[in-house]
Amino acid sequence: MTPALEVRGLCKAFGGLQVTRGVDLSVARGERHLLIGPNGAGKTTLFNLIAGDLRSDAGSIVMHGRDLTRMRAAARAQCGVARTYQIITLFPHDTLLHNVKLALLGRSPRRWHAWGHFAADDSLHAQAREALAAVGLTEKAGLPLQQTSYGDKRRLEIAMALAQRPSLLLLDEPLAGLSAQEREGIRTLLAGIGRDVTIVLIEHDMRAALALADRVTLLNQGQIVLSGQRDDVVQDPRTRQIYLGH
């Protein structure tokens, strides 16, 4: 079966700093794939390259058999790539519902209607409320984002990504900065996402991340050290030496 994501020989440098070095990564359809590695290993840069926020210097990115390598980020979103960010990127003065509607416009032909007024669009409204319900935010739909907790903002980011009905979801540290109770809530939410969505995840909360992951890839200094089944990678001495610290 064609992989959901196939990365080959991906390289990116910023001046003389080589951030990714010939990265090869294959992710099966429906897989939950965890990227681990020390700070500066190149994990978020790899996400930026896959999502199209950065242009690679060399290599290829193929999703479901379609070459995305030279596509802009907006075109990749149209192909089914969605992501969250390590640092939350939302519209603080808008309501949660309005934030989701804006995300929905990213894959809707309505975005080209310069004179449209989407606030009264019943279909868009219903889809946005459905996305908020999926992450447990129905009761807070009308609140301005700045009046909600950090945990709610993390949930909203996931709702905005899922609203775009992605086939590939990139999650960059979705549990960062959350309390133990909030982390468990997000972990349960992620576990409930259907296998029609392939998930690639960066997360430092190893207990929660490993509970979700099918396969794990270890990066260090921009290179893949090893990749395989979750337990095999965790038990490998290189993982303990490079990342787990014992």
The one-digit pLDDT tens for each residue of the chain (246 residues) are 789 999 999 999 999 899 999 999 999 999 999 999 999 999 999 999 999 999 999 999 999 999 999 999 999 999 999 999 887 778 888 999 999 998 888 665 554 454 455 555 678 889 999 999 999 999 999 999 999 999 999 999 999 999 989 999 999 999 988 999 999 999 999 999 999 999 999 998 888 999 999 999 999 999 999 999 999 999 999 998 988 765
Looking at the DSSP assignment, which residues form a beta bridge with residue 20? 12
Using one digit for the tens of pLDDT, what is the confidence trace for 168-203? 999 999 998 899 999 999 999 999 999 999 999 999
The DSSP element (H or E) to which 152 belongs, if any, is helix 150-163
The enclosing H or E element of 130 equals helix 122-134
| Residues pairing with 83 in the sheet | 170
Residues 203-210: contacts with CB under 8 Å, at least 24 apart: 203/34, 203/171, 203/173, 203/174, 203/175, 203/176, 204/173, 204/176, 205/175, 206/36, 206/244, 208/175, 208/183, 208/184, 209/34, 209/36, 209/175, 210/34, 210/234
Rg (CA), the chain: 18
What are the strands, taking DSSP E only, across the chain?
A: 5-14, 17-27, 32-36, 58-63, 66-67, 81-83, 168-172, 198-202, 215-220, 223-229
Question: Domains in the chain, start-ordered, CATH in brackets?
Answer: 1-80+166-246 (3.40.50.300), 91-165 (no CATH)
Contact 79/63 with Cβ under 8 angstroms? yes
| Residue 227 three-state SS | strand
Q: φ, ψ for residue 28 (rounded to 5)?
A: -75, 160
Strand 58-63 versus strand 5-14 pairing type = antiparallel
Are the C-beta atoms of residues 52 and 73 closer than 8 Å to each other? yes
Amino acid letter for position 112: W
Residue 108 has a pLDDT of 57
Distance CA 144, CA 136 (A): 16
Segment holding 153, helix H or strand E: helix 150-163
pTM of the shown model:
0.91
Q: Encoding tokens for residue 217? A: 């890839």
Measured at the CA of 48, the angle between CA 44 and CA 50, to 5 degrees, comes to 115
Closest CA to 172 of 72, 78, 34, 53: 34
